[in-house]
Every structure is written in C-alpha cells, then in structure tokens.
Amino acid sequence: MFTRTSRLILLALTAGLAGPVIANVSGPDAQACAADSQDVAALVTITGFKDRQGNVRLQLYPDNNKDFLRSGKKLTAEGKVFRRVEAPTPEAGDAEICIKLPGPGRYALAALHDRNADGKLNVFSDGYGFPNNPKVGLGAPDVEKVAFSATAGVLNIAITLDYFGGKPKAGKRP
C-alpha cells in the first residue's frame, strides 16, 4: 500500500501524462486529494474491516450535536453541511477515501461499512467509525469527540471500524 508521500512522488513522476494518477484512493472525490488540487479535502484511511463485503460510506456533518448524524435530506434542505461519498469495500487492506470539504472549517464525520450495500445502518452487522476513534456505547458519540478542523489542502484522518458484535475471533472466518 502506498503512503501519502509515495503517492505524491508518483504524482510528481507522472505529471504531464493523461492527468494525475491517484494510487489507492477511491470515491467520487478522489481528484480533490491530488497533489495539484486546490480543494479542501480529507483523505480518510479506514481500517478494521470485518470482511470484504458491500460498500464503505463517509458522511460529512456540521460540528454540532443537533445536526450530527441527522438525515442528509433534512440537512441539505436547510442549507446545512452534508456530503456523502461511497466506494466499494477494498478487496484487501485499508480503504483510502477522499471526501471534498466545503472549505476550511470545523466538521464532523462518520464512516460506515455497509456490508450488505443496502444504504442503511444495520446495527447488528455493519461496521461504523469516527475520527479520533472514540469508544461508542449504545448511542452516538458527542460531536466534540469526532469533530475536526480543516484548513487549505488535504487533511489526513484515520478511522478504525467497530462492529456491535465485535471482530471475529482469531482463526475464525467472517
């Protein structure tokens, strides 16, 4: 797997070809994480997959508890921050997904491993995670524990997935 530095070197070496190459970065916003991009974006590395089924989804929210994890349709209708990007679960390794941000500011983010690709959170089977990897009980984490500040350029964020039933035991197949 490429590190961010090796991706930047690869981009520099391939400059002038048919557009920049962004190794291992997935999602519709991948171009926003390119070295030559003028966008504000987050490059999210997601680890801890229980299996390789379904899709991985990132959802961007305002940084307040009232709006965090609310319906994207309602947030959009109210003119508030909301963005969703989705990519297939990688066949191996970590997922690296780029999500374009509206601009510099403070945001909250949620990741979902939608194992059956139905577009909904299935609490007993899907994986979920947040920046800063807070311990999550039966409810959503406080937004202060998952919020982040972005400035110009690309911000690196790491998220480790959690599953309600836990991860498979060593030696057991998912």
Sign of CA dihedral 32, 144, 76, 78: negative
Express each pLDDT in 123-159 by its tens digit. Answer: 889 999 999 999 887 788 999 999 999 999 999 999 9
Which residue has better confidence, 140 or 51? 51
What average pLDDT score do residues 15-24 get? 45
Q: Say yes or no to pLDDT of 23 above 70.
A: no
Show Cβ contacts of residue 16 under 8 Å, excluding neighbours closer than 6 positions: none
Residues 91-116: tens digit of each pLDDT: 999 999 999 999 999 999 999 999 99
pLDDT of residue 123: 86
Q: Which residues make Cβ contacts (< 8 Å) with residue 59, sequence separation at least 6?
A: 72, 82, 83, 84, 109, 110, 112
pLDDT at 172 over 60: no
Residue-by-residue DSSP string for 120-169:
S--TTT-EEE-TT-----SSPPPHHHHEEEE-SSEEEEEEE-EETT-PPP
- Is pLDDT of 6 > 50? no
Domain boundaries, the chain: 4-162
Q: Which region among 54-58, 158-162, 166-170 has the lowest average model confidence (pLDDT)?
A: 166-170
**In angstroms, rounded to a whole number, what is the distance separating the alpha carbons of residues 8 and 19?**
14
Question: Which 8-state DSSP code applies to residue 113?
Answer: E
Q: Is the pLDDT of residue 80 over 70?
A: yes
109 or 26: which carries more pLDDT confidence?
109
> What tokens were used for 154?
């690309």
The H or E element that residue 4 is part of is helix 4-13
Question: Which residues sit opposite 160 in a β-bridge?
Answer: 47
Please report, for residues 45, 125, 127, 150, 170, the alpha-carbon distance to residue 164 in angstroms, rounded to integers and kept in the order given: 21, 7, 7, 30, 17
